[in-house]
Amino acid sequence: TDRKKLHTAPVGQLFRLRPFHVLVATGGGYAGYRKYEDYKLEQLEKRGIEVPVRLASEWEVALYKSVPTRLLSRAWGRLNQVELPTWLRKPVYSLYIWTFGVNMKEAAVEDLHHYRNLSEFFRRKLKPQARPVCCVHSVISPSDGKILNFGQVKNCEVEQVKGVTYSLESFLGPRISTEEMHFSQAPPGNSFQQQLVTKEGNELYHCVIYLAPGDYHCFHSPTDWTVSHRRHFPGSLMSVNPGVARWIKELFCHNERVVLTGDWKHGFFSLTAVGATNVGSIRIYFDQDLHTNSPSYSKGSYNDFSFISNNNKEGIPMRKGEHLGEFNLGSTIVLIFEAPKDFKFNLKAGQKIRFGEALGSL
């Protein structure tokens, strides 16, 4: 009778799972499985074995989207800004350098103790001579990365990787009014693609560059052009590595992205920065009003901002190689532009490229 009574909660209460926990656990487990599948595909590619395309079903995409990648990316961003003790900086950054193959000899500051947090390390600047800008070719690579795909846009669809496409109109959004673009009105066409081509005899081209976590994270202007408009699409933050891009159709249309449109000497020109897991932060240096990965957003919405005003009727002029923006970690840049039919790319799919190297020319 002197023994203390042990009070226990009902078994049902102990093992009660909320829907959110189930989604996180299931989605996270499936995301891990996909990472393993991606690793196996990379090994096959290194051995020269062609991998057949297998697209994800709707339920697989929905399951992947159930992972709270936006919340995780915001948490990762805050963690990156935590100042590390001086004694801990070198071990942490050295592990990252070893994991992702970072070349610190190119960094403007090689001393690892200089970077107070991971965010500063990710956004490290390069030595001026590390990336010479090609003066001969008209379009250069805006960043370091891997070429996923390039070529002419056909049938209003763009290839994100070989054999996997996405809709041009879904990616860029509705046509921007001519009042916000200072080049001439294109003749009315039968398709969205034809409406973007402003000069007779021109074609629409595209190029997709994937930035890995170990790459230089800033991106630059790929040519001399004028930015007239910005369109921000809030969205998911799924991984954009080549394995996932091969698996999910219209991956770039699902993810958060910032579309900069304007014109160059041959007509329409656009650069799109696509967000990804842990890359919720996309920064455009001349656009202080842009805020990506906001906690509240409406699915399928987008926000427009015009750089043409009464005081600035020309937009934002950009010179080839000029600093344009940055990612936190790595992601993808998509170029879609108009050029004459004799424009030629100097690329191979899958090749590594560095900022300043030639993409193509007339």
Q: How much is the pLDDT for 310?
A: 62
Q: How much is the pLDDT for 324?
A: 94
pLDDT beyond 60 at 132? yes
- Contact of 238 with 260, CB cutoff 8 Å: no
Specify the 3-state DSSP secondary structure of 44: helix
Q: Backbone phi, then psi, for 331, in 5-degree steps?
A: -170, -140
**35 domain residue, yes or no:** no
pLDDT beyond 50 at 241? yes
Selected catalytic residue, list 137, 220, 229, 266: 220
Specify the 3-state DSSP secondary structure of 165: strand
Within 10 Å of residue 85's Cβ, how many Cβ atoms? 7
Residue 59 in tokens: 């339920």
Are 125 and 170 contained in the same domain? Answer: no
Find the mean pLDDT for residues 206-231: 92
Single-letter amino acid, residue 138: S
CA distance 24 to 147: 32
Are 228 and 315 contained in the same domain? Answer: yes
Are 88 and 166 contained in the same domain? Answer: no
| Residue 220 appears among annotated catalytic residues | yes
Are 196 and 115 contained in the same domain? Answer: no
Are 77 and 143 contained in the same domain? Answer: no
pLDDT in tens, 272-289: 999 887 766 788 999 988
Single-letter amino acid, residue 19: P
Predicted structure pTM score: 0.81
Q: How much is the pLDDT for 38?
A: 61
pLDDT beyond 90 at 195? no
**287 domain residue, yes or no:** yes
**248 domain residue, yes or no:** yes
Answer with the residue of higher pLDDT: 55 or 359: 359
Selected catalytic residue, list 144, 215, 263, 287: 144
Answer with the residue of higher pLDDT: 74 or 290: 290
**41 domain residue, yes or no:** no
Domain count, the chain: 2
pLDDT confidence tier of residue 343, bands split at 50, 70 and 90: very high
Contacts of 290 (CB under 8 A, 6+ apart): 230, 232, 258, 282, 283, 284, 305
**349 domain residue, yes or no:** yes
**53 domain residue, yes or no:** no
- Contact of 194 with 292, CB cutoff 8 Å: no
Among 109, 130, 151, residue at a domain's last position: 130
Are 91 and 215 contained in the same domain? Answer: no
Residue 293 in tokens: 């990965």
Are 305 and 345 contained in the same domain? Answer: yes
- Domain containing residue 289: 139-175+192-361
Answer with the residue of higher pLDDT: 44 or 99: 99
Straight-line distance from the first to the last Cα atom of the chain, in angstroms, rounded to the nearest whole number? 95
| Residue 141 appears among annotated catalytic residues | no
Are 104 and 209 contained in the same domain? Answer: no
Are 335 and 305 contained in the same domain? Answer: yes
pLDDT in tens, 285-339: 999 888 888 776 666 688 899 998 766 677 899 999 999 998 877 789 999 999 9
**31 domain residue, yes or no:** no
Are 302 and 169 contained in the same domain? Answer: yes
Q: Backbone phi, then psi, for 282, in 5-degree steps?
A: -120, 125
Would you list the DSSP string of 191-252? SHHHHH--STTEEEEEEEEEPPTTS--EEE-SSSEEEEEEEEE--B----SHHHHHHSTTHH
Q: What angle do CA 59, 63, 68 make, to 5 degrees?
A: 150
Single-letter amino acid, residue 99: T
b/e for 43-63, b at 16 or more Cβ within 10 A?
eeeeeeeeeeeeebeeeebeb
Contacts of 298 (CB under 8 A, 6+ apart): 234
| Residue 342 appears among annotated catalytic residues | no
Are 227 and 297 contained in the same domain? Answer: yes
**166 domain residue, yes or no:** yes
C-alpha pair distances (Å), 232 with each of 15, 27, 162, 318, 349:
42, 26, 26, 20, 28
Are 302 and 223 contained in the same domain? Answer: yes
